[in-house]
Amino acid sequence: MLIIPLLTAALLVPVVVVFVPVRVASNHWLWEWAQALGYLAVGSAALLFVYRHRPAVFPRFRSVYFTYLHRDLGMMTCALVIAHLGVLLFAEPLLIEHLTLTAPWHMLSGIAATVLLVPLGIGALPAVRQRLWGGRRRFRRWHLRLSLVFAALLLHHIVGSGGYINHASQVLVLSAMAIAIAVAFARRH
């Protein structure tokens, strides 16, 4: 089936974008691995916008498949973000200073995006969703809005960090991907 190569390609797009002229932030292999985890989190977060609960033209599966896929991708994104943060703090303990309110703006964006994963994930659980949002339409509206804020914060974190995305073409590709996602969602909702 073609879905596995497409998923793999979509997850690797942010990693491939990194290999346009780069300035390496560190020589420590653990640091580089943590950065790769972060970019994989970006790829899985982008897939969350593609695979929602609605069936798509391709592949032809029932909508419940996409609901579970979206949930599992969300959990995978959370796990990758936690691993990204944990490995970075293990590799460079002084980064704890970037978890305070005096951190640079791009780090505050990353922190805000990470914190925003909590209401996005927990608020989507069926028992919580019904009590918190009341109805499906209201939940979907707020979930979409929070997701777009999450994507904007994530983009600011990646571009602002400047460790790997530091070339104009890289910023352009990532910005174009983010705008394409936002436009696609605006047309559907």
Q: What is the pLDDT of residue 112?
A: 94
CA distance 82 to 185: 27
Q: What is the pLDDT of residue 153?
A: 92
Residue 52 pLDDT greater than 60, yes or no = yes
User: What is the residue extent of each domain of the chain?
Assistant: 3-12+25-188
Q: How many CB atoms neighbour CB 78 within 10 A?
A: 18
Residue 56 pLDDT greater than 60, yes or no = no
Residue 60 pLDDT greater than 80, yes or no = no
Q: What is the pLDDT of residue 9?
A: 64
Distance (Å) of CA 158 to CA 38, 63, 93, 107, 148:
9, 32, 20, 9, 15
Q: Helix %, strand %, coil % for the chain, to 5?
A: 80, 0, 20
pTM score:
0.74
Residue 54 pLDDT greater than 70, yes or no = no
Q: What is the pLDDT of residue 84?
A: 92
Model confidence band, residue 17 (pLDDT cutoffs 50, 70, 90) = low
What's the whole-number mean pLDDT along residues 6-27?
A: 58
Model confidence band, residue 80 (pLDDT cutoffs 50, 70, 90) = very high
